[in-house]
Amino acid sequence: MSKTIGFIGLGIMGKPMAKNLLKAGYSLNVCDLVQAAVDEVVACGAKAYPNAKEVAQNSEIIITMLPNSPHVKTVILGENGVLEGMKPGTIVVDMSSIDPTVSIEIEKEVAKKGGFMLDAPVSGGEPKAIDGTLSIMVGGDEEKFNEVKDMLLKMGDSAVLVGKIGSGNTCKLANQIIVAMNIAGMCEAMVLATKCGVDPERVFQAIKGGLAGSTVLNAKMPMVLERNFNPGFRIELHIKDLNNAMAAAKAVGMEIPLTGEILEMMKALDGKGEGKNDHCGLIHYYEDKEGVEVKRLS
């Protein structure tokens, strides 16, 4: 608990994760491009710095929680970045969901400066970030993982070391494929039920306790029924993850056709301006084609 943590990236996920660390009693140094997010976390007890370099100068563990690979590279490797301020022995924990090859590339640069890096992406979306029950998938050195595991468990209810650096993000890509397929299956099934004249809410109640039941179904079907597409996880971010999955598959000579199909559905919605909707907004792809709306009837 004595180590000071730097937290860079206070977006939909990062802000509640940072707040949970503060609630657990950790000292936190933060920075983000959005001043309102910084002010909110500072009001909870964090100390703000203007850039990643100064956060690193004043912290022993650095957490980054950023949208995609280029953002992580800029924050860690770029001007006024983590490496310019990092002390030898610092542990950098990148909790962003990025291309595994980029995690490997960044880790090499961190090691040259005497630091250590773990890739530790998360699953669970905003609700689980808020209540501190994220699933955290980690790649990197086991000894360094054990040093930060207690800290990670203040943000999640599980933290599993999957393998070497990059393994955490490979695991996250597998997770995102499964989540995408769950959502697509739910949407396809519920539009079919609606078009056949069956109440989709009753279908949900009938199947959720059986083999078709899932965390995804329980979290996303109520949102669809309420026509609530406010993002816990945006379509545009799921597109990013599925693009990374396609790239990872190509690198090992594998075809992942179902992933490719769902990616194209999401891209179609993004092209219509729906990329910032929650990924359960995939229902619109089917609804638009079939001329029905899946909603609560009473």
Residue 270 has pLDDT above 50, yes or no: yes
Confidence band for 1, pLDDT divided at 50, 70 and 90:
very low
pLDDT, residue 15, reads 98
> Could you give the residue ranges of the DSSP H alpha helices within the chain?
14-23, 35-42, 52-57, 69-77, 82-85, 100-112, 125-131, 142-152, 167-195, 200-207, 215-225, 235-251, 257-271, 283-290
**pLDDT by residue (tens digit) across 110-150?**
999 999 999 999 998 888 999 999 999 999 999 999 999 99
Active-site positions? 172
Answer whether residue 290 shows pLDDT above 60: yes
Q: What percent of the chain has pLDDT over 70?
A: 99
Q: Does 2 score more than 70 pLDDT? A: no
Q: What is the predicted pLDDT for the residue at 298?
A: 72
Its pTM stands at 0.91
Mean pLDDT for the stretch of residues 51-70: 97
pLDDT score recorded for residue 297: 84
Model confidence band, residue 3 (pLDDT cutoffs 50, 70, 90):
confident
Taking alpha carbons only, the member of 70, 99, 72 closest to residue 249 is 99
Residue carrying the six token digits 């996920």: 13
Question: What is the pLDDT averaged over residues 240-245?
Answer: 95
